[in-house]
Every structure is written in structure tokens, then in C-alpha cells.
Chain A
Amino acid sequence: MTPLLRAEAVSKSFGGVRALHKVSFTIAAGEIYGLIGPNGAGKTTLFNVLTGLYRLDAGRFSFDSAPLEGLAPDKVAARGIARTFQNIRLFANLSALENVMIGRHLRTRAGVFGAMLRTRATRAEEAAIEGRALELLDYVGIRARANDRAGSLPYGDQRRLEIARALATEPKLLALDEPAAGMNPTEAEVLKRLIARIRADGMTVLLIEHNMRLVMNLCDRVLVLDYGERIAEGAPAAVQRDARVIEAYLGVAPEDHAQAGTRDAA
């Protein structure tokens, strides 16, 4: 199978600090691909270069068999990559519904004149946008909050709203940056089912997450970064036994975790 996303020797520095150094990986269509590593290892930087927020220093991305690097963020989104943000970047003062409706921007057309004249096509499109946005709110389980101010939602709901907004762009690849942060294990379990469903519905998922139970139970493969470099990649069960991963990231092997009772480390 041709990979959906291929990263080749991707590098990025900030004023001499190497945030990413020659990182390569591929993600197959339909996969849930995990990305873990200590805070500051370069995971979010990888998201930012992938989605065009930062320019690559060296290396290349190809997505869906065409090069991706050098594209502006909106073009990357148009190509089919949607993301969420680690520090939640909702349109905080707008309603939850409006947030998702904005996500439909990319896949709808109405321009200034359509809006000014309120043509039949524009009205039909508006109705479709709202309908789809409500469906997506329902899909992630926060339809009841549709008219609430996005910034006033509890943390977990904000993360779900970000996912709904990202899904509104009809991505092929959904990149989630710590979706379970601020969720307790039970809520993370609900999130896990949501992500599994997103994959079952045909999407590929790239997942940054510190909640090990989520990563280990959900991901097909996991890439581990430390100081901007790839230190391990493979099936979750193998990665969590890797000595370097334990030293740099997990602190203890999974068996010890179970004994220490700290395996929910999130």
C-alpha cells in the first residue's frame, strides 16, 4: 500500500536549537499513528512543519503522492490535513456551532456577492453548513452545547469541539495534539472510542498523546522522539519495552507501572 504521508529527513531548528533532526516516517492510509516523547522533544514542532505553520529547514513531506512542503497552512488544510492544537485554539468568543461552521469554509463556496444577494444557492449552502456542523457536534457528543460560548466549555468538551471543527474540513489525515490532556481516565476512554470511530469511518489519524493507555490501546504504530530525534518506532507493545524509551520518556516499564499504580500517567 502506498503511504498516505511520508516524511523524509525532516529538520527544523530555532536559533541554533535543533527541534527536529532528520526525522523520517511513513503513515499508511487508515492507520492510527502515535507520536510520543518527552515535553519539548519536537512533537508539536513536527505538527507545525507538517501543517505549514513553520517552514522546514531541510527534508520533505509527501502527502497523497504529492509534495507538501512549502505550502501555506490553508493549502495544507485544502489538501486534506486537519489538526487540533495542544493549547486549544478555538474561536473562544464564538459559539460551539459557529466554530464548526467555520471549519466548513474550505469545502463551501459562497463569496461576497452570493452573500450580498442571498441567492438561492447561498441559502441552500448556509443550511447545509449548519446541518453538517450540527451533525459533527453530535458525532463528537457535544450537540447540547451548540450555542454555548466555545471558551466557556469545560476543557474536555473544548478538545472535542476542536476535533469536530477539524473534521468539518473533511480531512484525509486528522492530526490530534494531546486530545486527552485535561481528561480523567474515564473521559479518555470515551475519547478513545471516538478516535477509533473516526478511523473506522475512513480517516487516518496522527496522534500526539501522553496518556499511555490511549496510545497503547489505540495506535497501530508509535514513533518516539527525544531531543528532536527519532529514538524508536514500532508496535506499541515493543516500543514500551524499549530501554531508550523507558529511560527518556516512560520512566518505568509497563509492569512496574502496574505495580506502582501509576500507569494512568497522563
Chain B
Amino acid sequence: MLLELRALEVRYGGIRAVRGIDLAVGAGELVCLIGGNGAGKTSTLKAISGLLPLAGGSLRYDGEEIADLPVYERPRRGLVMVPEGRGIFAQLTVAENLAMGAYARRDREVQADLERQYETFPRLAERRGQVAGTLSGGEQQMLAMARALMTRPRLLLLDEPSMGLAPLMVMRIFEVVRTIARQGVTILLVEQNARLALEVAARGYVMESGAITLEGDAKSLLGDARVREAYLGETAAQGEDSWSVEAQ
């Protein structure tokens, strides 16, 4: 397993946000973590990336305990998070943002990687000179992901990549997630859009009030009645409606 959480606990503002969860992601896997608001998903990601301290349990990455590893050390080892809200450098250009992603790298392939990002994200190539703050929401999300890829991550933590994006853009972003996964990057995906998340992921975890309540392969979770009711917004009677059921 590339990432292994055992009895992981996180406290946030006096609240036990994560209450002893076990979670594992194998190399090359795409795993999603879904759950309601305040379930502790983001706290979990922040603990993995070092933005929140552990209150208990263990956090193993690449066979090594990293609970005490400083935040800035983790990306150097390939553990990279794309935060919710993107956290791009708004005053810098697209190209400068991407260069920041390669900040800790000393190798000669930075330029080649840059070209590869522009291939994966043609929209960014068109806008490489544009100031990032003026990009649309979807483009900013792409930039954040491309910048993360510039660090040559082994494990990418994606926090709500579809947040606030138009339906068309959501689909594009998820295509990109698939592409990145195919390139061999391991991904742990936190997402409110549970359906899409379970469709791209191989396995999934369901989190509720700081604990893992369900886990399994994504297909079976998609079919699980509890998941459908709690996270896909379906009641047993509803079945496969289209958007416009009530409008029509």
C-alpha cells in the first residue's frame, strides 16, 4: 500500500473531526472518499498532507511513518494535495504558477513536464501568459491540478475538484482525473458529487461523523441503497429520474 491510515484521529477546533479511521490506497489506485458536510473528509486530507496534526493513530506513506514529517517535506516525496478552493497564486501567470509547482525539483525534465501539462490541459496552453486570478473557476481548478502534477506526485490528494463548476466543466475535470490516473498517478479523491466520484474510482470509502461507515469497490457502493439515499439524493421510490422530473 502506498498510503495507509490506521486509527487516524484529527481534532479541529476542539471537535474530534476524524475518529480513528483506517484507510488504504494502493500504488496506481484511484480511491474516493465521500460523505456529508462536516463528515471529516477534508480534515482527513489535511492530516495526510500535514496541514493538520494527528491527534492519534498512524499515517504511513511508502512504508514509512510520516506523521511527524514537516508539511513542506511531503511534496518532495511525491505526496501532493490540491486544496478545495484551489489555492492558486492569483497574481502570477499560468506559466509562473506551473513553474512554482516545480519549485522543489532539481532535474532537467521540468521543461518536458511543462509541455506535457499543456498537452493534458490545452486550455492552459492557450492562456499561459494570463494572470491566474482572471481565469474562470474551471480553468483555475485545472491550473491547480496541473501545478500539482508539476511536482511529479506519486500520490495526488484532490479535495472537491468539481466544487462550483458548471456541468460541462465538471465533466472535463473528471476526464482529466481519469487521464491523470491512467498516467500512473495514485489518487485519493474527496468529492461531494458522489456519483461521479464513484464512477471514476475503483474503490470508495464512505465517511460519516468522522468515521468510515462503508467501504468497498465503487460499483457496489453505487448500487448500495444506503449510499443512494444518503449521498446520491435518491429515495427508494425515485429511481432513475432525470433533472426535469418535477419541472415537466
Q: Is the CB of A213 within 8 A of B199?
A: no
Mark the stretch among B61-69, B167-175, B178-186 that contacts chain A: B167-175
- Provide the residues of chain A in CB contact with B12, threshold 8 Å: 152
A133 to B60, CA, bound (A): 46
A40 to B231, CA, bound (A): 28
- Provide the residues of chain B in CB contact with A187, threshold 8 Å: 36-37, 192
Mark the stretch among A71-79, A117-125, A162-170, A252-260 that contacts chain B: A252-260
Q: Is the CB of B247 within 8 A of A236?
A: yes
A187 to B38, CA, bound (A): 11
Question: CB-nearest residue of chain B relative to A235?
Answer: B247
Question: CB-nearest residue of chain A relative to B170?
Answer: A265
B118 to chain A, nearest CB (A): 20
Q: In the complex, which range does the number of interface residues on chain A fall in?
A: 35 or more
Cβ of B129 within 8 Å of any chain A Cβ, yes or no, is no
- Provide the residues of chain B in CB contact with A255, threshold 8 Å: 242
A87 to B246, CA, bound (A): 29
Question: CB-nearest residue of chain A relative to B35?
Answer: A184
Cβ of A98 within 8 Å of any chain B Cβ, yes or no, is no
Q: Is the CB of B34 within 8 A of A184?
A: yes
B205 to chain A, nearest CB (A): 14
Binding site for A on B (CB under 8 A): 12-13, 15, 34-38, 84-85, 135-139, 160, 162-171, 192-196, 199, 229-234, 240-248
Binding site for B on A (CB under 8 A): 36-40, 86-87, 148-149, 152-157, 178, 181-189, 210, 212-213, 215-217, 235-237, 240, 248-251, 254-255, 257-258, 261-266
Known A186-B230, A216-B244, A236-B247; judge A210-B195 contact (CB<8 A).
no
- Provide the residues of chain A in CB contact with B166, threshold 8 Å: 36-39, 210, 249
Partner of A188, one of B233, B241, B245: B233
Q: Is the CB of A210 within 8 A of B230?
A: no
Q: Is the CB of A236 within 8 A of B165?
A: no
Known A157-B38, A263-B243; judge A184-B233 contact (CB<8 A).
yes
Q: Is the CB of A39 within 8 A of B244?
A: no
A182 to B234, CA, bound (A): 18
Q: Is the CB of A262 within 8 A of B196?
A: yes
Q: Is the CB of B37 within 8 A of A216?
A: no
A206 to B193, CA, bound (A): 24
- Provide the residues of chain B in CB contact with A40, threshold 8 Å: 135-137, 139
Partner of B37, one of A152, A182, A249: A182
Question: CB-nearest residue of chain B relative to A186?
Answer: B233
Q: Which 7 A-B pairs have the closest CB atoms?
A: A185-B233, A154-B38, A40-B136, A156-B37, A265-B167, A39-B137, A251-B168
A266 to B232, CA, bound (A): 12
- Provide the residues of chain A in CB contact with B192, threshold 8 Å: 182-184, 187, 266
Q: Is the CB of B169 within 8 A of A38?
A: yes
A257 to B247, CA, bound (A): 16
